[in-house]
């Protein structure tokens, strides 16, 4: 695993894209603080850049560094969730501007997968995580279902967990600073 993490970090530090297993589905990732790298993700997915991407952080401390004010309720949701849960926060900071939605929000998930946690911990920055498919096409349920265009469009493909059948996408919850909760995707 260490070798895979080191290869990923080298690609991420040079503004490249990785294809990697996450706690949900296989994801396309890049340095969430690098606007040019984020632009490459939108281009590869053929996705309108007004549709925001998800960002993974390694722990609560990194979450707090990239959100102006994390509502207390967020910690309860993270602790009590029975499946990977992405929360949309108000007023993100310290990430690429083109990663932030037009309403000044950002979808962030604290990674629960060990590979992701180690990768993010060693990289010391958040990583973009978006499903490994062209926009509008089905999310691949396994590595074998990832299209050639995606495989060829990234700079590095992680050589771990390729046999795993992925579960499903994360739940997405919109949590406003006034503690309003809206479920976007169960």
CATH number of the domain that residue 180 is part of: 3.90.870.10
Residue 141 has pLDDT above 90, yes or no: no
Q: Which two tokens stand for residue 83?
A: 């499946």
pLDDT single digits (tens) 94-127? 999 999 999 999 999 999 889 999 999 999 999 9
The model's confidence at residue 47, banded by pLDDT at 50, 70 and 90, is confident
In the DSSP assignment, the letter for residue 139 is P
Task: Please state whether 94 falls in left (phi above 0), alpha (psi between -120 and 50) or beta.
Answer: left
Q: What is the mean pLDDT of residues 151-156?
A: 97
Q: What is the mean pLDDT of residues 142-160?
A: 93
Query: Percent of the chain scored above 70 by pLDDT?
Result: 98
In the DSSP assignment, the letter for residue 103 is T
Residue 165 has pLDDT above 80, yes or no: no
> Would you say the C-alpha torsion 142, 51, 37, 83 has a positive or negative sign?
negative
The DSSP line for 32-56 is TT-HHHHHHHHHHHT--TTS--EEE
Q: What is the mean pLDDT of residues 6-28?
A: 95
Residue 132 has a pLDDT of 93
For the chain, the domain total comes to: 1
With a CB cutoff of 8 Å and minimum separation 6, the contacts of 2 are none
* Boundaries of domain holding 35: 2-185
Task: Please state whether 136 falls in left (phi above 0), alpha (psi between -120 and 50) or beta.
Answer: left
Average pLDDT taken over every residue of the chain: 91
CB 158 within 8 A of CB 21: yes
Q: What is the mean pLDDT of residues 117-141?
A: 93
pLDDT single digits (tens) 61-101? 999 999 999 999 999 999 998 888 999 999 999 999 999 99
Q: Which two tokens stand for residue 87?
A: 């929360």
Residue 7 has pLDDT above 90, yes or no: yes
Residue 13 has a pLDDT of 98
CB 55 within 8 A of CB 129: yes
Q: What is the mean pLDDT of residues 161-176?
A: 77
Residue 164 has pLDDT above 80, yes or no: no
With a CB cutoff of 8 Å and minimum separation 6, the contacts of 138 are none
* Side-chain-facing half-sphere of 166: CA atoms under 13 Å: 26
Residue 28 has a pLDDT of 96
The model's confidence at residue 23, banded by pLDDT at 50, 70 and 90, is confident
Give the residue carrying structure tokens 């060990």: 114
Q: What is the mean pLDDT of residues 46-59?
A: 88
> Hey, is 177 helix, strand or coil?
coil
């Amino acid at each position: 695993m260490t070798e895979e993490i080191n290869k990923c970090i080298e690609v991420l530090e040079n503004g490249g894209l990785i294809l990697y297993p996450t706690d949900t589905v296989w994801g396309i990732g890049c340095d969430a603080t690098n606007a040019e790298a984020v632009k490459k993700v939108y281009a590869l997915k053929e996705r309108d850049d007004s549709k925001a991407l998800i960002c993974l952080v390694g722990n609560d401390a990194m979450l707090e560094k990239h959100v102006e004010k994390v509502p207390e309720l967020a910690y309860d949701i993270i602790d009590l969730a029975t499946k990977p849960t992405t929360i949309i926060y108000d007023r993100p900071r310290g990430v690429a501007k083109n990663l932030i939605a037009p309403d000044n929000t950002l979808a962030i998930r604290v990674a629960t997968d060990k590979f992701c946690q180690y990768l993010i911990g060693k990289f010391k920055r958040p990583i973009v995580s978006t499903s490994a498919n062209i926009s509008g096409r089905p999310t691949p349920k396994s590595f074998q279902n990832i299209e050639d265009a995606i495989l060829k469009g990234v700079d590095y493909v992680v050589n771990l967990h390729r046999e795993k059948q992925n579960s499903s996408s994360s739940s997405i919850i919109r949590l406003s600073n006034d503690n309003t909760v809206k479920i976007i995707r169960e």
